[in-house]
């Protein structure tokens, strides 16, 4: 697919400079910059556009934060610093039943910026900011969930400028994980298969998706997931595009599948609903005309694939 890397979080050409990880150059020093995270949220500024705040790495508010080397951005070494140890004056925890936390937090040392969920800003920031934010968010989530060694249970420590963890007891080295997920544009003629999962916003439908299992090809995962969730049999499968999805650690593998059947046999243990929708009906949902469904979230690979299907630009 020629437009594959136009998807949100698509490659921005960041120079990741892996050769500097673990070296002195992979540690922050005067003149380097940092993007800032707090409890998984990113610090952004909003003027005429939305962009990640770049702070000096030696900023006083960042002095006790955890640091990861992301790479070189426009010839400047760039880090991600997590200051989740900071407590705002109004420290209310988000409602776990909400689709995502839409609240914003203001840090007194960054008066022009606000901490907010990346999910709500991802369609409005630049490709470079999106890659930096997704990389940082995924890495910090991995560190938060891998404090202990999976081999011996000992405490592990961050190494290689944030790109590895090493057990303090057995010295086993652990590497960041990415979970492959297939997301499927399943079509039959001028109709596309959509579904919705529990907890999604009212009337929101998207493409079917699911994790790839061990020992399984991407093509087999597409056919299995679609059949498990909807009872639809899929024939030919082709790859379209991928999207890093840092919510928390997935790689969305976008595929096109040709349906061999049309009758839906829903598995209510997998999804809430599934339906076929025509190109005309789908166009109306994107044009904000009165329809029974709402389209997949702006910035998601699902919306990206659906819009390219409508525009006949999947090749």
Give alpha helix (H) positions in 149-295. Answer: 218-230, 279-286
- The 10s digit of each residue's pLDDT in 221-265 is 999 999 999 999 999 999 999 999 999 999 999 999 999 999 999
Residue 97 has pLDDT above 70, yes or no: no
pTM of whole model > 0.85? yes
The 8-class DSSP code of residue 296 comes to: P
Cα 208 to Cα 230: distance, rounded to the nearest angstrom = 9
Q: Which residues contact 314 (CB under 8 A, 6 or more apart)?
A: 1, 185, 240, 256, 305, 308
Q: Which residues contact 256 (CB under 8 A, 6 or more apart)?
A: 184, 185, 187, 237, 238, 240, 305, 314
Cα 231 to Cα 226: distance, rounded to the nearest angstrom = 7
User: Residue 166, CB half-sphere, CA atoms under 13 Å: how many?
Assistant: 7
Residue 288 has pLDDT above 90, yes or no: no
Which whole-number Å values give the CA distances from 248 to 118, 204, 218, 252, in the listed order?
11, 21, 20, 12
Residue 217 has pLDDT above 80, yes or no: yes
Domain assignments of the chain as residue spans, ordered by start:
4-145, 149-176, 179-310
Cα 55 to Cα 59: distance, rounded to the nearest angstrom = 7
Residues 72 and 17: beta-carbon distance below 8 Å: yes
User: Residue 214, CB half-sphere, CA atoms under 13 Å: how many?
Assistant: 0
- The 10s digit of each residue's pLDDT in 172-208 is 999 999 999 999 999 999 999 999 998 888 899 999 9
How many beta carbons lie within 10 A of that of residue 268, not counting itself?
9
Which CATH class name applies to 179-310? alpha beta
């Amino acid at each position: 697919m020629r437009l594959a890397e136009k998807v949100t979080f698509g490659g921005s050409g960041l120079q990741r400079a892996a050769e500097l990880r673990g070296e002195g150059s992979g540690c922050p020093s005067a003149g380097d910059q940092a993007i800032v995270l707090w409890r998984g949220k990113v610090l952004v500024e909003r003027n005429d556009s939305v962009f990640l705040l770049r702070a000096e790495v030696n900023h006083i508010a960042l002095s006790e934060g955890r640091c990861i080397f992301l790479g070189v951005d426009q010839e400047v070494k760039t880090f991600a610093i997590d200051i989740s140890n900071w407590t705002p004056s109004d420290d209310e925890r988000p409602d776990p039943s909400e689709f995502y936390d839409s609240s914003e937090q203001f840090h007194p040392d960054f008066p022009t910026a606000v901490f907010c969920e990346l999910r709500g800003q991802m369609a409005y920031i630049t490709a470079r900011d999106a890659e930096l934010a997704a990389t940082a968010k995924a890495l910090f989530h991995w560190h938060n969930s891998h404090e202990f060694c999976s081999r011996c249970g000992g405490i592990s420590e961050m190494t290689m400028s944030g790109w590895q963890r090493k057990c303090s007891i057995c010295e086993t080295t652990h590497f960041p994980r990415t979970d492959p997920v297939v997301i499927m544009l399943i079509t039959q003629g001028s109709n596309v298969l959509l579904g919705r999962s529990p907890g999604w916003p009212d009337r929101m439908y998207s493409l079917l998706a699911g994790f790839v299992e061990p020992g399984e090809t991407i093509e087999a995962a597409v056919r299995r997931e679609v059949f498990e969730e909807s009872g639809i049999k899929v024939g030919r499968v082709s790859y379209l595009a991928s999207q890093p999805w840092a919510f928390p650690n997935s790689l969305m593998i976008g595929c096109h599948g040709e349906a061999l059947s049309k009758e839906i046999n829903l598995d209510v243990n997998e999804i809430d609903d599934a339906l076929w929708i025509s190109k005309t009906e789908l166009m109306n949902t994107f044009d904000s005309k009165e329809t029974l469904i709402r389209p997949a979230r702006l910035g998601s690979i699902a919306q990206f694939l659906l819009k390219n299907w409508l525009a006949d630009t999947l090749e």
